[in-house]
């Protein structure tokens, strides 16, 4: 028999039974009582605790559900309010807090560290602690002296492009703190820039997570309708334990929906791996590269049950995720078979106190049969980064804009499908991969193509975590149908350069020299001297491109079928409150390009994985819904790009 348990700030953990009339005081007390099928209803108020459920549900229909009461605002925080600040010089104040407040985890003593972390040159390591003034996070200073005249940073350099990237709200860099951890207490200094910390709300990080089990394999939990904030969660590379502000900790079947999640020191939602398959060994041991340890983690995970029956199949939907230092959503291995849809993700990795090769609004490794659909992702250091083993993955109907880079797919072999997306930032797409299909997208910025010949990565049997083989990335084996590419001023965006291997360009000219069919590819192989793997070394893989539109200087693949090259065109993204509009000015020739419905059977098979473009159930992929949700109809060709009804001239279409 299922129960409904209630939690309220007026309740009690002792001598209460969790009923509506006698609610518990803490969510953890309700979690200790909840059994499969039960619902925990949390009423309005602020709860400062790390909810660590001791058990999960038994099936999709026998979940344990944690939900905010209907119409009530519930906040769960990993921070504590701190008062008793003492003024020092100017606008700098000081407070000392007992270390007992932190227990055995003091964020101000814990560095942001691990595999693939990067700090600006000369910068000292940062810590997991943070200070908040009325909800706004500060920056950590390098020392006490820096607090008196904090520097104002307005840009940093992107590690991949070398181009200056925006920093989140540069004026905020003058709000800074510094801490010293002693044997019994931690002293924190902060420059409040004229605010009185004893009259305002000032909080500090205390807990690592806000909603996260301490043990793996607690399945089928739903978390719905909360505001979750201010956690001291650590750096989450793919070679380490990956705890987030919230996450399942290596389990199956979680639903995280309708929440507002913000101010994770590193990652907000983690669908990632756990420590037994490797934990920062490259950094701690120094004997092998992180790449090698990441390979080993794939096999270690298989040995402990990394498969569809035990791991993944999570749903992350309708959340608002913002102001996190590393990721909005992260996950290596544990993200398999999951769906990430209808989320609004912004202000991710823009503080740049630390940086590294593991950042993004969404950053996934081993995204096997993952659906990333209809998300709004903007003002991120990188919108979506899919790294290693992107197979059976679909990136569909997402709205990207004002990111430093929109979409990056690295060392993967496919098949993966990217369809009906608006890629509206300066750098639209970067591929260090092969085996992709791109249907009906708008690339408003650059495309970068680069082979990776020094890192062989795994590919899998279709719709499975079983490893089928390894290969390096030669590039190509990609498909482009019915996309729209815009040009621009490459020198202004990136400095001197042009189309070519490893250099950003506008359009698909970076593929020039590749064969345009599998038959041509086989002919080139046949012309090589006899041998085995040596015959393949210098033969480029085929690229299948047709019916794409190029405007404003973007250039087609030289061997493309039916490209349409137009003149001037402009595209911009406009926000009006919670609504987003695509504004276009396209020449009349745009209306002459019509593309029929494309399906999985229309896309040539992926070479290395020897796999087709399919739905998760193995049926051919269906690619007939545009960015606005309108269905493309067989036999009725429509416009190229993400909006089937798009026309020439000046248009304005709501896309979110």
pLDDT over 80 at 166, yes or no: no
Domain presence at residue 611: no
Segment 391-419 shows an average pLDDT of: 97
Query: Degrees (nearest 5) of the Cα angle 330, 471, 309?
Result: 50
Segment 136-165 shows an average pLDDT of: 74
If you write DSSP's letter for every residue of 203-269 in order, what string do you get? EEE--S-SB--SSS----EEEES-EEEEE-PPP--TTS----SB--SS-B--EEES-EEEEESSEEE
Q: Where in the sequence is the domain holding 201, given as residue range(s)?
A: 83-205
Q: Based on the domain organization, do 92 and 157 belong to the same domain?
A: yes
pLDDT over 90 at 216, yes or no: yes
pLDDT over 60 at 129, yes or no: yes
Q: Based on the domain organization, do 167 and 61 belong to the same domain?
A: no
Residue ending a domain, among 180, 205, 230, is: 205
Here the tokens at position 371 are 């659906």
71-80, 286-295, 490-499: which range is least confident on average? 490-499
Residue ending a domain, among 36, 51, 72, is: 72
CATH number of the domain enclosing 165: 2.60.40.1180
Whole-angstrom distance, CA of residue 40 vs CA of residue 19:
10
Q: Based on the domain organization, do 56 and 126 belong to the same domain?
A: no
Which pLDDT value is given to residue 610? 97
Q: Based on the domain organization, do 24 and 92 belong to the same domain?
A: no
Which pLDDT value is given to residue 149? 80
Which pLDDT value is given to residue 448? 96
Q: Summarize pLDDT for 32-45 with one digit per residue, the tens.
A: 999 999 999 999 99
Q: Based on the domain organization, do 60 and 116 belong to the same domain?
A: no
Domain presence at residue 137: yes
Whole-angstrom distance, CA of residue 275 vs CA of residue 216:
10
- What does DSSP say about strands 393-396 and 416-419: parallel, antiparallel, or unpaired? parallel
CB 383 within 8 A of CB 360: yes
User: What are residue 439's DSSP bridge partners?
Assistant: 419, 481
Segment 367-374 shows an average pLDDT of: 98
pLDDT over 70 at 154, yes or no: no
pLDDT over 80 at 285, yes or no: yes
pLDDT class of 352 with cuts at 50, 70, 90:
confident
CB 246 within 8 A of CB 212: yes
Report the share of the chain in percent with pLDDT over 70: 95
Q: Could you write out the three-class secondary structure of 366-433?
A: CCECCEEECCEEEEECCCEEEECCCECEEEECCEEECCCCCEEEECCCCCEEEECCEECCCEEEEEEC
pLDDT over 70 at 324, yes or no: yes
Which SS3 state, helix, strand or coil, does residue 490 take?
A: helix
Which pLDDT value is given to residue 174? 79
425-459 burial, b at 16+ Cβ within 10 Å, e below that, comes to bbbbbbbbbbbbbbbbbbbbbbbbbbbbeebebbb
Q: Summarize pLDDT for 553-606 with one digit per residue, the tens.
A: 999 999 999 999 999 999 999 999 999 999 999 999 999 999 999 999 999 999
Secondary element (H or E) of residue 522: helix 518-526
Q: Based on the domain organization, do 54 and 89 belong to the same domain?
A: no
Residue ending a domain, among 37, 72, 107, is: 72
pLDDT over 80 at 623, yes or no: yes
Here the tokens at position 301 are 């995970």
175-194 burial, b at 16+ Cβ within 10 Å, e below that, comes to bbbbbebeeeebebbbbbee
Domain presence at residue 472: no
CB 525 within 8 A of CB 536: yes
Q: Based on the domain organization, do 38 and 102 belong to the same domain?
A: no
Tokens 């608006």 map to which residue?
A: 422
CATH number of the domain enclosing 49: 3.30.1910
Segment 224-228 shows an average pLDDT of: 98
pLDDT over 90 at 168, yes or no: no
Which pLDDT value is given to residue 92? 96
Here the tokens at position 645 are 């009804």
Segment 476-492 shows an average pLDDT of: 93
Domain presence at residue 655: no
Long-range contacts of 644-649 (CB under 8 A, 24+ apart): 646/584, 646/586, 646/590, 647/586, 647/590, 647/591, 648/586, 648/587, 648/588, 648/589, 648/590, 648/591, 649/585, 649/586, 649/588
The whole-chain average pLDDT of the chain stands at 94
Q: Summarize pLDDT for 503-520 with one digit per residue, the tens.
A: 799 999 999 999 999 999
Which pLDDT value is given to residue 491? 77
pLDDT over 80 at 653, yes or no: yes
Q: Cβ contacts of residue 61 below 8 Å, gap of 6+?
A: none
Q: Could you write out the three-class secondary structure of 443-467?
A: ECCEEEECCEEEEEEEEECCCCCCE
Secondary element (H or E) of residue 486: strand 484-486
CB 247 within 8 A of CB 216: no
Domain presence at residue 285: no
Domain presence at residue 437: no
Which one has a higher pLDDT value, 149 or 601?
Answer: 601
Which one has a higher pLDDT value, 513 or 491?
Answer: 513
Segment 543-560 shows an average pLDDT of: 97
Nearest to 232 by CA among 179, 278, 191: 179
Question: Total structural domains in the chain?
Answer: 2
Which pLDDT value is given to residue 492? 72
Q: Based on the domain organization, do 91 and 193 belong to the same domain?
A: yes
Domain presence at residue 188: yes
Give the Cβ contact number of residue 122 at 10 Å.
6
Q: Based on the domain organization, do 95 and 21 belong to the same domain?
A: no
- What does DSSP say about strands 267-270 and 327-332: parallel, antiparallel, or unpaired? parallel
Domain presence at residue 153: yes
pLDDT class of 165 with cuts at 50, 70, 90:
low
Q: Based on the domain organization, do 97 and 141 belong to the same domain?
A: yes
Q: Based on the domain organization, do 93 and 175 belong to the same domain?
A: yes
pLDDT class of 150 with cuts at 50, 70, 90:
confident
pLDDT over 70 at 153, yes or no: no
Whole-angstrom distance, CA of residue 416 vs CA of residue 439:
11
Report the share of the chain in percent with pLDDT over 90: 90
Q: Based on the domain organization, do 17 and 121 belong to the same domain?
A: no
Segment 606-629 shows an average pLDDT of: 97
């Amino acid at each position: 028999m299922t129960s409904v348990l209630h939690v309220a700030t007026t309740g009690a953990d002792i001598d209460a039974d969790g009923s509506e009339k006698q609610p518990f005081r803490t969510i953890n007390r309700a979690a200790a009582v909840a059994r499969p099928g039960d619902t925990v209803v949390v009423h309005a108020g602020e709860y400062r605790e790390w909810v660590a459920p001791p058990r999960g549900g038994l099936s999709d229909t026998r979940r344990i559900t944690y939900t905010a009461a209907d119409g009530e605002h519930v906040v769960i925080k990993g921070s504590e309010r701190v008062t008793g600040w003492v003024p020092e010089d100017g606008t700098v104040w000081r407070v000392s807090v007992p270390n007992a407040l932190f227990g055995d985890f003091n964020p101000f003593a814990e560095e942001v560290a691990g595999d693939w972390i990067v700090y600006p040159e000369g910068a000292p390591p940062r810590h997991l602690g943070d200070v908040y003034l009325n909800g706004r996070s500060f920056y950590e200073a390098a020392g006490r002296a820096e607090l008196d005249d904090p520097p104002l940073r307005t840009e940093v350099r992107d590690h991949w492009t070398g181009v200056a990237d925006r920093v989140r709200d540069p004026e905020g860099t003058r709000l800074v703190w510094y801490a010293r951890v002693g044997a019994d207490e931690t002293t924190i200094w902060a420059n409040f820039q004229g605010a009185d910390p004893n009259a305002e709300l000032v909080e500090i990080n205390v807990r690592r997570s806000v909603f996260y089990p301490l043990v793996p394999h607690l399945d089928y939990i739903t978390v719905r309708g909360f505001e979750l904030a201010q956690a001291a969660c650590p750096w989450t590379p793919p070679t380490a334990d990956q705890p987030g502000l919230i996450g399942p900790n290596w389990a199956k079947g979680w639903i995280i929906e309708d929440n507002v999640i913000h101010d994770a020191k590193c990652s907000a939602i983690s669908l990632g791996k756990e420590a037994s398959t490797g934990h920062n060994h490259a950094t701690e041991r120094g004997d092998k590269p992180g790449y090698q340890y990441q390979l080993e983690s794939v096999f270690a995970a298989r040995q402990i049950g990394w498969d569809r029956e035990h791991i993944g199949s999570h749903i992350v939907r309708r959340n608002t995720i913002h102001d996190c230092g590393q990721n909005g959503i992260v996950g290596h291995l544990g993200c398999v078979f999951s769906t990430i849809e209808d989320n609004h993700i912004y202000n991710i990795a823009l503080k740049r106190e630390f940086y590294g090769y593991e950042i993004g609004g969404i950053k996934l490794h081993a995204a096997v049969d993952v659906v990333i659909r209809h998300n709004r992702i903007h003002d991120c250091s990188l919108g979506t980064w899919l790294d290693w083993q992107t197979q059976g993955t679909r990136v569909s109907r997402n709205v990207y804009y004002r990111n430093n880079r929109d979409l990056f797919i690295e060392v993967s072999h496919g098949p993966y499908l990217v369809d009906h997306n608006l890629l509206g930032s300066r750098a639209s797409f970067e591929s260090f991969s092969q085996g992709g299909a791109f249907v009906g997208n708008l690339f408003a910025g650059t495309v970068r193509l680069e082979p990776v010949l020094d890192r062989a990565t795994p590919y899998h049997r279709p719709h499975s975590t079983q490893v089928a083989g390894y290969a390096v990335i030669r590039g190509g084996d990609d498909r482009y149908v019915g996309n729209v590419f815009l040009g621009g001023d490459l020198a202004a965006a990136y400095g001197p350069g042009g189309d070519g291997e490893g250099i950003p360009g506008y359009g698909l000219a970076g593929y020039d020299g590749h064969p345009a069919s599998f038959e041509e590819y086989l002919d080139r192989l046949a012309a090589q001297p006899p041998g085995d793997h040596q015959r393949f070394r210098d033969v480029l893989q085929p690229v299948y491109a047709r019916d794409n539109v190029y405007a404003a200087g973007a250039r087609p693949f030289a061997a493309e079928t039916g490209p349409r090259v137009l003149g001037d065109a402009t595209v911009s993204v406009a926000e009006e409150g919670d609504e987003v509009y695509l504004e276009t000015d396209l020449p009349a020739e745009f209306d002459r390009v019509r593309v029929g419905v494309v399906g999985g059977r229309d896309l040539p098979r992926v070479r290395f994985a020897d796999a087709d473009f399919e739905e998760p159930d193995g049926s051919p992929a269906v690619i007939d819904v545009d960015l606005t949700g309108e269905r493309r109809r067989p036999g009725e060709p429509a416009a190229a790009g993400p909006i089937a009804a798009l026309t020439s001239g000046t248009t304005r279409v709501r896309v979110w």
